[in-house]
Amino acid sequence: MPLRALIVDLDSYFASVEQWINPRLRGKPVAVIPMMTDSTCCIAASKEAKKFGVKTGVGVGEARQMCPEINFVESTPGEYIRIHHEVIALVENVMHVDEVLSIDEVRCDLKGKWRDKATALALAKEIRAAILRRYEGHITCTTGIGPNGFLAKLASDMGKPDGILVLEESELPQRLHGLKLRDFCGIGRNMAQRLNAHCVFTVEQLCASSRHLLHTIWGGIEGDRMWCSLRGEDVDRPPTKKRVIGHSHVLPPELRHDQGVHSVNHRLLQKAAMRLRKMGYCAAGLQMFIKYQDHRGWSDEIIFTDTQDTLALLSAFEQLWQRRPSRHQVVPHATGVTLFNIRPAAQVTPSFLTSEATRGRLCAAVDDINISLGKNKVFFGGALGALDYTPMRIAFTRIPDVETEG
């Protein structure tokens, strides 16, 4: 089976970026934390910190115990996004990026003569060299090459850090036997328990399991997909999930009341609407949730005609808002809105009956002002009171857009 996928995964990404932009931190153990407080957890650790056992999810106090010399730095999402785009451009100079898997990971499909092992390795070396050159060795990557994306991803995990690793069909499945079940994409804690319940405890047992058994354990086609992936088959990726654009926020203490929830959601929806327009999409559904301090929650959704107009979305929002339960005694804790039923604006038949065409120009003008002059220069009044409370947040799985978020 030919080599079909190449994955470039940046090593200790957030921590490496911090060391790149701040030379004082180079060569030192660094942990990136979301805010400067002892009550938080590390979201990334530099390779020097990893040697002490510090990794994502370790609490600040615990990290300090593991490594008294550790340097804590507050995350700078804007920098991670800027360099993410730079790295994509560097890879694109060598070969086309087919999919951005996360903020520090991209997949390139190998086609034609690129499927030859020597050629694929040469491409990987070229990408590695370009990244080394640009960041003077302070941001590095590991490249995994395999017969499908699943195995290329495993190869990149096995080759870390700063490595290039090829997994060939002829090495399957023996080369995987040293891994743990949880190392595999698609096997989380629950799935590992289900596998154990069917007497599958090791990767060797997983690889030897019948297709029928994996189908049963996964409860459907995902099990077949795993069986095929392990054998290097070119498995069709599942259709992408229903696209949604959503924002949520844990309320700051001063906004933990009904009006605060309204203002925050108003602001979050204006952000989501701006992103929707930037992507060139329309939405036909809005969902809202409120979580209360007694751990109970409320959520509801509303469907409407496809739109990307902030005023139309805000009017749907107000209808949804009226449906919330009146729980005066209970303090709200977190809230959020999500736009769903999203499709490209080009596929939507424009409305002839509303003034949305004119309003489209209004929304575009508002977006232009906020992009060129800074966020919140123009906004719909309902967000007043929550303007400073919906900061941009960083996630591995989604790359925030600096212009529309923040």
Q: Which residues are catalytic?
A: 105
Of 144 and 400, nearer to Mg ion (C-beta) is 144
Residue positions counted in the chain? 406
Total residues at the site for Mg ion (CB under 5 A)?
Answer: 3
Report in angstroms how near the CB of residue 315 gets to Mg ion at its nearest: 43
- The reply to whether 9 sits near Mg ion by the rule CB under 5 A is yes
Which of 33, 42, 73, 104 touches Mg ion (CB under 5 A)? 104
Of 157 and 300, nearer to Mg ion (C-beta) is 157
Report in angstroms how near the CB of residue 84 gets to Mg ion at its nearest: 11
Residue 170: both structure tokens together:
């002829």
Report in angstroms how near the CB of residue 38 gets to Mg ion at its nearest: 26
Contact stretch for Mg ion (CB under 5 A) within 44-52, 102-110, 117-125, 281-289: 102-110
Q: Tell me whether residue 216 is exposed, middle or buried, using C-beta atoms within 10 angstroms of its C-beta: 0 to 12, 13 to 18, 19 or more.
A: middle
Residue at 395: amino acid letter: A
Site for Mg ion in 140-199 (CB under 5 A): none
Of 47 and 277, nearer to Mg ion (C-beta) is 47
Residue 310: both structure tokens together:
């902030």
Of 9 and 356, nearer to Mg ion (C-beta) is 9
Q: Tell me whether residue 212 is exposed, middle or buried, using C-beta atoms within 10 angstroms of its C-beta: 0 to 12, 13 to 18, 19 or more.
A: exposed
Report in angstroms how near the CB of residue 12 gets to Mg ion at its nearest: 7
Contact stretch for Mg ion (CB under 5 A) within 44-52, 99-107, 111-119, 338-346: 99-107
Report in angstroms how near the CB of residue 10 gets to Mg ion at its nearest: 5
Report in angstroms how near the CB of residue 321 gets to Mg ion at its nearest: 40
Q: Tell how strand 164-166 and strand 141-146 pair up.
A: parallel
Residue 338: both structure tokens together:
């999500």
How many separate helices (H) and strands (E) can be counted in the chain? 13, 13
Of 73 and 288, nearer to Mg ion (C-beta) is 73
Contact stretch for Mg ion (CB under 5 A) within 89-97, 103-111, 262-270, 387-395: 103-111
Contact stretch for Mg ion (CB under 5 A) within 10-18, 63-71, 112-120, 186-194: 10-18
Alpha-helical segments (H) within 67-116: 77-94
- The reply to whether 309 sits near Mg ion by the rule CB under 5 A is no
Contact stretch for Mg ion (CB under 5 A) within 89-97, 98-106, 170-178, 249-257: 98-106
Which residues does 95 contact at the CB level (< 8 Å), separation at least 6? 6, 108, 114, 123, 127
Which residues does 200 contact at the CB level (< 8 Å), separation at least 6? 181, 206, 209, 213, 217
Residue nearest to Mg ion (CB): 104
Of 159 and 382, nearer to Mg ion (C-beta) is 159
Question: How many CA atoms, within 13 angstroms, populate the side-chain half-sphere of residue 12?
Answer: 27
**Order of strands across the sheet with 164-166?**
99-102, 105-109, 5-10, 141-146, 164-166
Cα separation, 353 vs 199, in Å, equals 62
Q: Which residues would be at the binding site for Mg ion (CB under 5 A)? A: 9-10, 104
